[in-house]
Structure 1
């Protein structure tokens, strides 16, 4: 389906096909007769809060029953993938982090792994940098799932869950700010490693969070799991079995809630995940309730992974040794946020002309990447997040395209919604956990 703001019409062997974007509204509703057949066509979104900001749903209703549902995306117009073609490979981290803005560290890590594969330096990334990537991604997975619990609770009437979920998320964002200088959109994971090391006070904060979070998870379960209204709104609602998930390309917690334990950290390991001890939670009902249980269980598994990563943090460099690739800056957290450490500035400005030249050349021009193309995927909080990166041998990407799980998983919404009640559209759509920044790249 097109994401243009203008209506388009094309001929097919079966007749005319109309795209639902706004300009062809007359054609969409012309096939219904609300007086005689009691069917109406309504817009849900894109401004509706429960459609996650900028998702538009076209619903054909018979009473409160959904007879047909169509998803319309494209309202953000970020153009991130196209912009990457006009920036060097290092600058790309600053763009991709803004795609799925609830899990920016997964966007960055997938991009960095793809660039490193093109460069042929995958095995040169240091152990400490790889461990930090796992640590940060699993903290990010927890924070993303907390947003899902908070917003879904609010959308289904459990208003207190909104408060609790965002309250605990603040702990993680504070940790991210201590490490990267930013709460979101970090550009922290770079090709070759990470931007800077993890300070000791951040490690203390993570330890405190590990002690706090299990108690909070019990609070969530006490609030929701035994609540009859929550159970009524989630059990046997928006059911999608494993066969349908595979047919539609659905991955992540939605697929695992249907009984298939497909998790790239286990099936196609990266960043050393094969050396960590953790389970892949699954459920068998394939409904909103199952997705809720799977995400709660995944938070517990991520806490285990964070603790293991902390125990593995050995002293060492956080960037590859090759100075032609390594990010030249030595960043530090200061009163002005994040910037070059004063010692590094003094060195490149006053002691070493060679360092100064290298610094500005790498920052402005970047490094060359050998021609070729790769596909690298990671397990994001929403499913398989893949990067198809193409290089023509220059300092800028020829093409970078993301296989974004929010975009792919939204294909399942009509299958989940049609035949159900309009209220269940909200529950089913929320259970997919779409982030529209990932859809509209």
Structure 2
């Protein structure tokens, strides 16, 4: 008991998560949301063998914001501002028919590095530049088309994403996945991180002009109650299947390909 009092809060929290029946050569590893490499309010409890993931348990609900209840007491004008806090990567995607910024984290060149913290901001800078042009109504489709062609032709990016975080269509349906994560499980794709990136790039090139693609974001208002349906909440449950068979250093790549945002998980 005295030893537990000497532990830090995060160390005491990690001691609470225990797997039983571990075989020889297997060990438990807990990933805490404490650094830029794992910025999501989600605890991942992993069983590893030589840095290969054998079993996963996820736990969310550590930063609930109460946005849904707050929206019920706001006027529509104020609610349009408040709902932007659901997705801090792209606060205006609720007002646009596409989701450029929050669909692009998977294109970050950090996937080319072995360590998750070695970030390079070239693609992010180009994306923010395109968003600035869009905000000032100066966006040229030619600029976006050149960017997509350059990214697709990068063989290093394709090699880093192919075969990572695969999931079958039946498993995706059982977890309630929608949008690009479900489309990537069709017969023409492999259900991995690279397939999800290709689906998102195709949506950017040919967006639906009338409404946002289904499964990306949905707000239901019925009888004065507000329910925000976000894909990251369902993706968090599917991580127990998607991460199995991958390596620990592939976790940021897989999370980025799913387009997961921490504020969407705990609204």
User: Normalising by the residue count of structure 2, what TM-score does the alignment of the two structures yield?
Assistant: 0.81
| Cα distance in 2 between the residues matched to 1:25 and 1:145 | 32
**1:405 and 2:237 are equivalent in the alignment:** no
Would you say the 8 A contact 2:30–2:46 is kept in 1? yes
* Alpha carbons of structure 1 residues 24 and 55: separation in structure 2 relative to 1, 3 Å: closer
Give 1:417's aligned residue.
Answer: 243
RMSD: 2.9
What is the DSSP-based 3-state SS (H/G/I as helix, E as strand, rest coil) of the residue aligned with 2:54? strand
Give 1:3's aligned residue.
Answer: none
**1:166 and 2:125 are equivalent in the alignment:** yes
What is the DSSP-based 3-state SS (H/G/I as helix, E as strand, rest coil) of the residue aligned with 1:42? strand
Instruction: Using the TM superposition, give the Cα deviation of residue 162 of structure 1 relative to its aligned residue in structure 2, in angstroms.
Output: 3.2
| Cα distance in 1 between the residues matched to 2:60 and 2:11 | 12
| Cα distance in 2 between the residues matched to 1:170 and 1:55 | 31
Give 2:17's aligned residue.
Answer: 28
Runs of at least 5 residues in structure 1 that lack an aligned partner in the other structure: 1-20, 110-135, 179-201, 261-282, 310-376, 392-397
Higher Cα Rg, which structure: 1
Give 1:240's aligned residue.
Answer: 167
| Cα distance in 2 between the residues matched to 1:246 and 1:57 | 22
**1:284 and 2:189 are equivalent in the alignment:** yes
| Cα distance in 1 between the residues matched to 2:91 and 2:81 | 10
Would you say the 8 A contact 1:57–1:72 is kept in 2? yes
Would you say the 8 A contact 1:146–1:169 is kept in 2? no
What is the DSSP-based 3-state SS (H/G/I as helix, E as strand, rest coil) of the residue aligned with 1:388? strand
Give 2:6's aligned residue.
Answer: none
What is the DSSP-based 3-state SS (H/G/I as helix, E as strand, rest coil) of the residue aligned with 1:244? helix
Give 1:181's aligned residue.
Answer: none
Give 1:39's aligned residue.
Answer: 26
| Cα distance in 2 between the residues matched to 1:38 and 1:88 | 58
**1:295 and 2:200 are equivalent in the alignment:** yes
Alignment of 1:123-272 (within 5 A): 136-138=96-98, 141-150=99-108, 153-157=109-113, 162-176=121-135, 178=136, 202=137, 205-206=138-139, 209-222=140-153, 224=154, 226-227=155-156, 230-259=157-186
**1:57 and 2:44 are equivalent in the alignment:** yes
Would you say the 8 A contact 1:149–1:162 is kept in 2? no
Give 1:356's aligned residue.
Answer: none
| Cα distance in 1 between the residues matched to 2:158 and 2:105 | 20
1:306-351, CA deviations, whole angstroms, 9 ceiling, x for partnerless residues? 7xx9xxxxxxxxxxxxxxxxxxxxxxxxxxxxxxxxxxxxxxxxxx
1:203-254, CA deviations, whole angstroms, 9 ceiling, x for partnerless residues? xx02xx21211112222123x3x22xx3443222221121111111111111
Would you say the 8 A contact 1:233–1:424 is kept in 2? no
| Cα distance in 1 between the residues matched to 2:19 and 2:11 | 14
User: Normalising by the residue count of structure 1, what TM-score does the alignment of the two structures yield?
Assistant: 0.52
What is the DSSP-based 3-state SS (H/G/I as helix, E as strand, rest coil) of the residue aligned with 1:143? coil
Aligned residues between the structures: 255
Runs of at least 5 residues in structure 2 that lack an aligned partner in the other structure: 1-9
| Cα distance in 2 between the residues matched to 1:96 and 1:433 | 18
* Alpha carbons of structure 1 residues 71 and 258: separation in structure 2 relative to 1, 3 Å: same
* Alpha carbons of structure 1 residues 155 and 51: separation in structure 2 relative to 1, 3 Å: farther
